[in-house]
Amino acid sequence: MKSNSENYGKIAVSIHWFSAVLIVVLLGSGFRAGFSEDVATKVDALRVHLPVAVLVMLLTIFRVIWWWRIDTKPQPLDGTPDWQRVTAHWTHMLLYLLVVLLLVSGTTMSVLSGLPDALFGAAQFPNLAELPPRTGHGIGARLIVALIFLHAGAALFHHLYLRDSTLRRIWFRKGP
């Protein structure tokens, strides 16, 4: 269940992939709401977006506690150049930072606007574009998309071109 020096454990792998899927859902529903002019479409997208954001927040808190108190990360693969280790480290840190910033800005917008009452109650749908955190939320979402592409591209580069075990280490089955 826990990680070792060679591979991530089942809990870390589950957190990683469940977070990845939920973040893709958040991005899809967020961009759909943000780019739509139709209030009904915005409401439908945000009815998915808000509960999934709460799940990501809880999962992120669990992930931090998991790494901080319970588990350890595997060592980098032998032969990995220093620049790749540094780039991987900072890409992961920026991903975590952006997730937290998006959660904070989204929560702030929800509280300031009364969005939950509009989505799950009878209040009128607010104009989110006028809220100060909205700009940062949109920029953060675009930045996290770029980092996800960098992250996934690097994993595929390692898997398909270098043919090392980088991607297999964060998968459920650890075959050759």
**pLDDT tens string 128-159:** 888 999 999 999 999 999 999 999 999 999 99
- What is the average pLDDT across 148-175? 89
* pLDDT on residue 129: 87
pLDDT tier, 121 (very low <50, low <70, confident <90, very high otherwise): confident
Give me the long-range contacts of 59-68 (CB less than 8 A, separation at least 24): 59/15, 59/18, 59/19, 59/22, 60/19, 60/96, 60/99, 60/100, 60/103, 62/15, 63/15, 63/19, 66/11, 66/12, 66/15, 67/12
What is the distance between the terminal CA atoms of the chain, rounded to a whole angstrom?
20
pLDDT (tens digit per residue) in 41-87: 999 999 999 999 999 999 999 999 999 999 998 988 888 899 999 99
- Chain centroid, CA 88 distance in Å: 16
For the cut 70, the answer to whether the pLDDT of residue 174 exceeds it is: no
* pLDDT on residue 76: 87
For the cut 60, the answer to whether the pLDDT of residue 175 exceeds it is: no
pLDDT (tens digit per residue) in 6-55: 899 999 999 999 999 999 999 999 999 999 999 999 999 999 999 999 99
pTM given for the model = 0.90
For the cut 60, the answer to whether the pLDDT of residue 125 exceeds it is: yes
Domains in the chain and their CATH numbers? 10-169 (1.20.950)
